[in-house]
Copies of this chain bind each other. A is one copy, B any other.
Amino acid sequence: MGKQSVVDLKHFEISEEENLSPEDFILKKIRELLHQGALQPGARLPSERSLAETLNTTRGTIRKALQKLDFYGLVEITPQSGTKISNLGQDTVEELMKSIPVSKDQKMIDLLEARFVLDLQCTILAAQRRTEADLVLIENRQDLFLQRFYSKGNGDYLEADYLFHLAIAQAAGNHVLVSLLNQLTPRIVTREQPHLKQRDNDFSRIPAEHQSIIDAIRRESPEEAEEAMRNHRQWALKRIFTGDN
């Protein structure tokens, strides 16, 4: 890393505490320093040690916050040298930082909506790009789903349903979409169970809905796949939100 002057932060305002984890609290403070112009994109950050002193924390906390920023691509860490803010515009970096601490307690409906958006597009793409191997995996997953669906009384089929849709996502051939989908799934599956204790009449539709999706993908028809998937969602939402919130 080249020679660069490091800004002294001691003269800038630091906000007071809130109900955030120490790590997210530090993120917020760094964002404020950015907003006040104390830090500028492309500029080198003060060392972890001096940041800790300035922001009244330990180095460990600073370290966790910076690692998080690195994960989101907002900061470039060079070992044994230093850390600099990514070369994006100040507005951009600030906006991106705002969205980071929100990651917890996301609304269930938002999670479901996001998952459906991804599932739907993956299904359309799968109908365009599927290989024979993809089709075999999808059908195997459907078999597994049917088995769980008809044999057991508990919610195990929910995960089989996830595996079914995951196979479709993999057939779409976009690793990023698969990764985003996998990020959502645990948060949904571990919270969805309470809604689904009862299996009313609508549930019997699921196997046929799945089959329609498979057929569309086999025929390599994106339009039919989209319609089948939208139909699947319509009933899924009805199944999840019957009576309770």
Contact = CB atoms under 8 A, between A and B. Distances in A.
Interface of A: 72-74, 86-89, 91-92, 95-96, 99-100, 102-103, 106-107, 110-111, 113-114, 117-118, 121, 144, 156, 159-160, 162-163, 166, 174-180, 182-187, 189-190
Given A72-B182, A96-B182, A175 B117 contact: no
B92 A189 contact: yes
A89 B159 contact: yes
A113 B176 contact: yes
Given A89-B156, A159-B91, A110 B185 contact: no
A72 B91 CA distance: 29
Contacts of A99: 178-179, 182
Given A88-B190, A166-B95, A190-B86, A106 B175 contact: yes
A106 B186 contact: no
B177 A117 contact: yes
A240 B110 CA distance: 31
Q: Main SS of chain A's interface residues?
A: helix
Contacts of A180: 114, 180, 183
B110 A177 contact: yes
Contacts of A163: 91-92, 95
A166 B96 CA distance: 10
A186 B122 CA distance: 23
A184 B174 CA distance: 14
Contacts of A160: 89
A72 B179 contact: no
B118 A87 contact: no
29 contacts: A72-B183, A73-B186, A73-B190, A74-B186, A86-B186, A88-B159, A88-B190, A89-B159, A91-B144, A92-B159, A92-B185, A92-B189, A96-B185, A99-B179, A102-B175, A106-B175, A106-B176, A107-B176, A110-B174, A110-B175, A110-B176, A110-B177, A111-B176, A113-B177, A114-B177, A117-B121, A117-B177, A121-B121, A180-B180
